[in-house]
Amino acid sequence: MPDYWASAFDVVPFPIYVVDMATFELINVNRTMRKRTGEIDGRKCHQAVYGSDKPCAFCVIPGMQGGDMGQTIIFEHFNEADDRWYQLQETRIAWFDGRPAKYSIAVDVTQLKGAQNALAEAHADLAIKNRELERLTVTDSLTGISNRRHLTAVLDHEVASARRSGLPLSVLLIDVDRFKQVNDTFGHQAGDAVLAQVAGIVVRNVRATDAAGRWGGEEFVVTCPGTPAQAGAAVAEKLRAAIDAHTFPAVGKVTCSIGVAEWLEGESVGLLLARADAALYRAKSDGRNCTAVAGPLPSAFGAPGAPAAPAV
């Protein structure tokens, strides 16, 4: 090998080595590589570089056999011998004596790899935090179900969908009866537990197509797409009966009143909720623990045989 070529090799700060493609023998190494391999002494590349008694599993020489001169393959490799990552640039060349050889430049990219991994981890953490933040923005912190913000978006969507499709839409407004009395008698912690349990009962007893959430205070909203008022009243009665049948730890029995309104053509979300609220008020006036429906349907669907509760 000409001296000028050896000199050029030696000034390159990265490990460079040349391998006989037929025998895997190291033909030449530059000064930087020699610090790792020592004098080559006819050793095979896998012996000198990786301390292995057979060719490396990732060796590109078999794929280069019969290839064009100048063929280059670039890849990253983790060297277990020194616990470092390298970017390898492997090029097929003709050595000075004419034999085909593989010319390799190994650039240590361990720090870069670490930075890339740290960046990937940071992106993954950020994605998780973003999903959690998104969940928190639409979730009621006390009950774990949808909050008013999310319900408002759902109502806007469902009303727009009903307007386009002409299919019915019913909205249920649920209020826990005498909830102030629960707080005053048993404390706010017990009251919070009641709200959380009511939320669980509501979510477990609505249909997959329905959306339920906490509207605020002791009020909950359920949207029932594709559902006329009569069917919405049936859903409400199922919820009312489930809550009435439940025993709340430390509190005992708790009931609820429910107002149901079916969306009318041209009606805004605000007016729809106002009619549901008016129906809820009628349910309260009719003795609580019952369902009232806005519109031409009967004004109340009470619990058969349930005694009328005294007004607060």
pLDDT tens-digit map of 173-191: 999 999 999 999 999 999 9
Reduced to 3 states, what is the DSSP secondary structure of residue 273?
helix
| Tokens 């280069």 belong to residue | 64
Instruction: Indicate the length of the chain as a whole number.
Output: 312
**Predicted confidence band at 137 (pLDDT cuts at 50, 70, 90)?**
confident
In 3D space, the residue among 214, 180, 209 whose CA is nearest the CA of residue 197 turns out to be: 214
**Average per-residue pLDDT in the chain?**
88
User: On the CB side of 24, how many CA atoms lie within 13 Å of its CA?
Assistant: 17
User: CATH number for the 140-302 domain, one of 3.40.50.970, 1.20.1300.10, 3.40.50.300, 3.30.70.270?
Assistant: 3.30.70.270
Reduced to 3 states, what is the DSSP secondary structure of residue 53?
coil
pTM of the model: 0.60
Give start and end residues of each alpha helix (H) in the chain. Answer: 3-11, 31-37, 45-50, 61-64, 110-137, 148-165, 179-186, 188-205, 229-245, 269-285
Domain 3-112: CATH superfamily, name plus number: PAS domain (3.30.450.20)
- ∠ CA 52-7-31, nearest 5°, is 30
pLDDT over 90 (residue 67): no
Structure tokens at 32: 């930087």
Look up residue 290 and give its DSSP letter. Answer: E
Domain segments of the chain as ranges: 3-112, 140-302
What is the bridge-based pairing of β-strands 290-293 and 256-262? Answer: parallel
pLDDT over 80 (residue 171): yes
Amino acid at 30: N
| DSSP for 214-255, written as a single string | EEETTEEEEEEET--HHHHHHHHHHHHHHHHHPEETTTEE--
pLDDT over 80 (residue 242): yes
Structure tokens at 120: 């990937």
pLDDT over 80 (residue 106): yes
pLDDT over 90 (residue 301): no
In 3D space, the residue among 232, 241, 246 whose CA is nearest the CA of residue 279 turns out to be: 232
Q: Comparing 77 with 256, which gets the higher pLDDT?
A: 256
pLDDT over 70 (residue 6): no
- CA distance linking residue 120 with residue 123, whole number of Å: 5
User: CA torsion 48→54→57→59, rounded to 10°?
Assistant: 50
**Predicted confidence band at 1 (pLDDT cuts at 50, 70, 90)?**
low
Which residues are identified as catalytic?
218
